[in-house]
Structure 1
Protein backbone atom coordinates (compact mmCIF):
# COMPACT_ATOMS: atom_id res chain seq x y z
CA UNK A 1 0.00 0.00 0.00
CA UNK A 2 1.32 3.42 -0.90
CA UNK A 3 0.45 6.28 1.45
CA UNK A 4 1.69 9.83 1.04
CA UNK A 5 1.11 12.99 3.03
CA UNK A 6 -0.67 15.56 0.90
CA UNK A 7 -1.17 19.32 1.04
CA UNK A 8 -3.17 19.41 -2.21
CA UNK A 9 -5.80 22.13 -2.45
CA UNK A 10 -9.25 20.56 -2.47
CA UNK A 11 -12.49 22.56 -2.24
CA UNK A 12 -14.32 22.02 1.05
CA UNK A 13 -17.39 20.87 -0.88
CA UNK A 14 -15.40 17.88 -2.21
CA UNK A 15 -14.91 16.35 1.25
CA UNK A 16 -17.34 13.57 2.20
CA UNK A 17 -17.79 12.75 5.89
CA UNK A 18 -18.06 9.13 6.97
CA UNK A 19 -21.63 7.89 7.35
CA UNK A 20 -20.51 6.52 10.73
CA UNK A 21 -19.88 10.04 12.01
CA UNK A 22 -22.44 10.91 14.65
CA UNK A 23 -21.66 14.60 14.99
CA UNK A 24 -21.10 14.16 18.74
CA UNK A 25 -17.42 15.02 18.60
CA UNK A 26 -16.28 11.45 18.10
CA UNK A 27 -13.83 10.08 15.60
CA UNK A 28 -14.69 11.44 12.16
CA UNK A 29 -13.01 10.71 8.86
CA UNK A 30 -13.53 12.61 5.62
CA UNK A 31 -12.46 11.61 2.12
CA UNK A 32 -12.16 13.58 -1.11
CA UNK A 33 -11.64 12.01 -4.52
CA UNK A 34 -9.17 13.79 -6.81
CA UNK A 35 -7.89 12.90 -10.26
CA UNK A 36 -4.78 11.19 -8.88
CA UNK A 37 -5.73 9.93 -5.42
CA UNK A 38 -8.27 9.66 -2.64
CA UNK A 39 -7.43 12.14 0.12
CA UNK A 40 -8.33 11.30 3.72
CA UNK A 41 -8.33 13.63 6.73
CA UNK A 42 -9.51 13.92 10.33
CA UNK A 43 -12.60 16.16 10.25
CA UNK A 44 -11.78 17.61 13.67
CA UNK A 45 -8.34 18.80 12.47
CA UNK A 46 -8.68 19.26 8.70
CA UNK A 47 -5.62 21.48 8.21
CA UNK A 48 -3.18 19.34 10.18
CA UNK A 49 -2.58 16.35 7.91
CA UNK A 50 -4.04 14.53 4.96
CA UNK A 51 -3.18 11.15 3.57
CA UNK A 52 -3.30 10.35 -0.15
CA UNK A 53 -4.13 6.84 -1.33
CA UNK A 54 -3.95 5.55 -4.89
CA UNK A 55 -7.19 4.18 -6.33
CA UNK A 56 -6.10 0.55 -5.97
CA UNK A 57 -4.98 0.98 -2.35
CA UNK A 58 -8.23 2.78 -1.46
CA UNK A 59 -10.36 0.09 -3.11
CA UNK A 60 -8.48 -2.56 -1.12
CA UNK A 61 -9.07 -0.66 2.12
CA UNK A 62 -12.79 -0.29 1.40
CA UNK A 63 -13.11 -4.03 0.62
CA UNK A 64 -11.33 -4.91 3.86
CA UNK A 65 -13.39 -2.47 5.93
CA UNK A 66 -16.65 -3.76 4.45
CA UNK A 67 -15.84 -7.26 5.74
CA UNK A 68 -15.55 -6.04 9.34
Structure 2
Protein backbone atom coordinates (compact mmCIF):
# COMPACT_ATOMS: atom_id res chain seq x y z
CA UNK A 1 0.00 0.00 0.00
CA UNK A 2 2.72 2.48 0.93
CA UNK A 3 4.65 1.91 -2.27
CA UNK A 4 1.48 2.36 -4.34
CA UNK A 5 0.72 5.64 -2.59
CA UNK A 6 4.32 6.83 -2.98
CA UNK A 7 4.28 6.05 -6.70
CA UNK A 8 1.08 8.05 -7.10
CA UNK A 9 2.51 10.84 -4.91
CA UNK A 10 5.54 11.08 -7.23
CA UNK A 11 3.22 11.54 -10.22
CA UNK A 12 0.83 14.02 -8.61
CA UNK A 13 2.88 16.10 -6.16
CA UNK A 14 2.75 19.84 -6.61
CA UNK A 15 5.67 22.27 -6.78
CA UNK A 16 5.95 22.14 -2.99
CA UNK A 17 6.14 18.33 -3.00
CA UNK A 18 2.63 17.76 -1.60
CA UNK A 19 -0.13 15.47 -2.86
CA UNK A 20 -3.45 14.92 -1.08
CA UNK A 21 -5.22 11.55 -0.87
CA UNK A 22 -8.88 10.98 -0.09
CA UNK A 23 -11.19 7.95 -0.21
CA UNK A 24 -11.64 8.31 -3.99
CA UNK A 25 -7.88 8.19 -4.50
CA UNK A 26 -7.58 5.04 -2.42
CA UNK A 27 -10.37 3.40 -4.46
CA UNK A 28 -8.68 4.50 -7.70
CA UNK A 29 -5.44 2.90 -6.51
CA UNK A 30 -7.22 -0.33 -5.49
CA UNK A 31 -6.58 0.14 -1.78
CA UNK A 32 -9.54 -1.28 0.19
CA UNK A 33 -8.62 0.13 3.61
CA UNK A 34 -10.50 3.02 5.16
CA UNK A 35 -8.85 6.41 4.86
CA UNK A 36 -7.53 6.78 8.42
CA UNK A 37 -6.34 3.17 8.49
CA UNK A 38 -4.43 3.71 5.26
CA UNK A 39 -2.99 6.98 6.57
CA UNK A 40 -1.76 5.33 9.78
CA UNK A 41 -0.25 2.40 7.87
CA UNK A 42 1.59 4.70 5.46
CA UNK A 43 2.78 6.93 8.30
CA UNK A 44 4.06 3.94 10.28
CA UNK A 45 5.82 2.43 7.26
CA UNK A 46 7.52 5.74 6.38
CA UNK A 47 8.80 6.05 9.95
CA UNK A 48 10.11 2.50 9.95
CA UNK A 49 11.92 3.20 6.68
CA UNK A 50 13.30 6.46 8.10
CA UNK A 51 11.91 8.13 5.02
CA UNK A 52 12.28 11.80 4.15
CA UNK A 53 8.53 11.83 3.47
CA UNK A 54 5.81 12.41 6.07
CA UNK A 55 2.05 12.07 6.29
CA UNK A 56 0.03 15.07 7.42
CA UNK A 57 -3.66 15.83 7.84
CA UNK A 58 -3.50 19.53 8.72
CA UNK A 59 -6.68 19.02 10.74
CA UNK A 60 -8.58 17.35 7.89
CA UNK A 61 -10.48 14.13 8.59
CA UNK A 62 -11.44 13.40 4.99
CA UNK A 63 -7.96 13.39 3.45
CA UNK A 64 -4.26 13.18 4.17
CA UNK A 65 -1.18 14.40 2.38
CA UNK A 66 2.23 12.98 1.70
CA UNK A 67 4.95 15.60 1.80
CA UNK A 68 8.62 15.45 1.02
CA UNK A 69 10.85 16.92 3.72
CA UNK A 70 13.94 17.20 1.53
Q: State the TM-score, normalizing by the size of structure 1.
A: 0.33
Structure whose residues are more often helix by fraction: 2
Structure 1 or 2: more strand by fraction: 1
Considering only CA atoms, is the larger Rg found in Structure 1 or Structure 2? 1
